């Protein structure tokens, strides 16, 4: 699976990265390392959102250290191209 990480401030993407991995935890670590930010605290809410909507949002309160963005959004998308309807 591919994970698209986006750092947003005032609803504008200020930085984004794509990482391919089979595990969310290792993809999250790789994206955070790529952004040079601390790792957020992952709650059941985040895992539930990933299962239901294939995306989740981390807010500054989800980080132990201070961050200079409004949200870290992570979206999952498949490598396969979808067929047109």
| Residue 37 and residue 72 in contact, taking contact as beta carbons nearer than 8 Å | yes
Number of domains in the chain: 1
Could you list the mean pLDDT of each consecutive 10-residue stretch along the chain, which spans 85 residues? 95 95 94 96 96 96 95 87 52
Residue 41 lies in a domain: yes
Residue 85 lies in a domain: no
Residue 83 lies in a domain: no
The range of the structural domain enclosing residue 60 comes to: 2-77
Residue 38 lies in a domain: yes
pLDDT of amino acid 74: 97
Residue 58 lies in a domain: yes
Residue 27 lies in a domain: yes
pLDDT of amino acid 40: 96
């Amino acid at each position: 699976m591919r994970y698209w990480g986006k750092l947003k401030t005032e609803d504008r993407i200020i930085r984004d990265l794509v990482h391919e991995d089979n595990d969310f935890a290792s993809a999250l670590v790789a994206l955070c390392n790529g952004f040079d930010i601390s790792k957020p605290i992952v709650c059941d809410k985040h895992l539930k959102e990933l299962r239901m909507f294939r995306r989740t949002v981390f807010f500054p309160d989800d980080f132990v250290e201070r961050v200079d963005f409004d949200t870290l959004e992570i979206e999952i998308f498949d490598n396969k191209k979808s067929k047109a309807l």
